[in-house]
Amino acid sequence: MPGPLPPTQLYASERVVVLLSCVLSFLGSSLLVCTHALWPELRTRPRQLLLYLSLADLLSALSYFYGVLQDFDRTSWDCVLQGALSTFSNTSSFFWTMAIALYLYITIVRGSPTGTGLLCCFHAVSWGVPLGITVAAVALKKIGYDASNVSVGWCWVNLDAEDRVLWMLLAGKVWEILAYVTLPVLYILIKKHINRAHADLSEYRPILSRAPLRPQTSVADKKLILIPIIFIILRIWSTVRFVLTLCNSPAVQNSVLVVLHGIGNTFQGGANCIMFVLCTRVVRTRLFSSICCCCYDELHWPLQRSNSSWQCPEPHKDKDVPGPERTKPLLSST
């Protein structure tokens, strides 16, 4: 039997890249939280679920940042604390990601009414299960130094634990692999349902209207494809290194794999911000209008002081941008 692999050495350049990914994820998650707080008309139920996912990603980015910054070389109290926080937030992120997909499937495909009962169920599972796993892992002293072979500087499951494989699965990997299967299946079913609806509607469109399909619909369809693809692209490197560690392969210390693992685990908040803020017309327009208004306000501050009747100009009204009463459809704001 070959001996255990030596610890994976992290180079300064690798740490800088992963730390930058943590910062971008933190900023992206913060922006998602801010847009939800500032604009009540955008608070649809899917974006409410996205808020909880962003909170989990926010905590995840902070804990990973501290772990990469410290680059632990042994088990210590802050190693255990950081490992516990990242385990809880990372696992919770998996659950909220699957909760969003399940919610869209129930409301779009099944057409079932959803109320506070389903949301309470999501909260109980997406916060409760990760919390229970994390508390048990800390109490049984399973969180600790992992030699960066299944992480990138941060602490996770202690490699000295005899049942470490079981706890690696419970503390993240089994939920990660479950998401690989669940997300594509649910989003494919949703997209097929939407395509069938479009086909049925196209039979009556010449009678009802000569207008083409709304561009927002095609954008939403593309997002349904991109959501599981982006999730898998980001997370697959962590799973690859996990399998290589189980096989005791030295390839687990490959620098490219290490960097991809670090970015994939830490950039989820940034990816969500790109998709659901920058690539969502309603939110993007509101954000840019607010920024432009603030900049205009600062540039004309002397004029504002001399003329008390000066007011910030209204943002340009885009006919393609729905108003508050038109932002409630399920997919246009997700």
The pLDDT tens digits of the residues spanning 303-322 come to: 555 454 445 445 444 444 44
**Vertex 135 angle, CA 174 and 90, to 5°:** 45
The total number of residues shown for the chain amounts to 334
- Predicted pLDDT of residue 326: 43
- Predicted pLDDT of residue 297: 58
Taking Cα atoms as reference points, which of 274, 215, 241 lies closest to residue 32? 274
Taking Cα atoms as reference points, which of 290, 277, 278 lies closest to residue 316? 290
- Predicted pLDDT of residue 312: 46
- Predicted pLDDT of residue 217: 47
- Predicted pLDDT of residue 54: 94
Measured CA to CA, the distance from residue 274 to residue 295 in angstroms comes to 23
Total of domains in the chain: 1
Query: To 10 degrees, what angle do helices 174-202 and 215-246 make?
Result: 160
Taking Cα atoms as reference points, which of 321, 331, 253, 249 lies closest to residue 287? 321
- Predicted pLDDT of residue 198: 67
Is residue 198 in some structural domain?
yes
- Predicted pLDDT of residue 171: 94
**Vertex 155 angle, CA 153 and 158, to 5°:** 125
Q: What is the mean pLDDT of residues 31-40?
A: 89
Is residue 259 in some structural domain?
yes
Per the CB < 8 A criterion, the answer to whether 267 and 25 are in contact is yes
Whichever domain contains 146, its CATH number is 1.20.1070.10
Q: What is the mean pLDDT of residues 155-180?
A: 92
User: Tokens for 189?
Assistant: 């079913």
Is residue 303 in some structural domain?
no
- Predicted pLDDT of residue 89: 96
- Predicted pLDDT of residue 169: 95
- Predicted pLDDT of residue 192: 87
More confident residue, 319 or 34: 34
Is residue 136 in some structural domain?
yes
Going through the chain in order, the beta strands assigned E by DSSP cover 143-144, 156-157
Phi/psi of residue 250, nearest 5 degrees:
-65, -15
* Count of other CB atoms within 10 angstroms of residue 327: 19
Taking Cα atoms as reference points, which of 136, 126, 123, 66 lies closest to residue 91? 126
- Predicted pLDDT of residue 299: 57
Is residue 83 in some structural domain?
yes
The pLDDT tens digits of the residues spanning 213-235 come to: 444 445 555 676 788 889 999 99
pLDDT at 277 over 90: no
Is residue 331 in some structural domain?
no
pTM for the complete prediction?
A: 0.81
Is residue 326 in some structural domain?
no
% of the chain surpassing 90 pLDDT: 52
From residue 243, alpha-carbon distances to 4, 12, 49, 316 in Å are 14, 25, 31, 53
The pLDDT tens digits of the residues spanning 72-126 come to: 988 999 999 999 999 999 999 999 999 999 998 998 888 776 778 889 999 999 9
Question: Where in the sequence is the domain holding 49, given as residue range(s)?
Answer: 12-204+217-289
Is residue 270 in some structural domain?
yes
Residues in Cβ contact with 269 at an 8 Å cutoff, skipping those fewer than 6 apart: 24, 25, 26, 28, 29, 32, 54, 57, 58, 60, 61
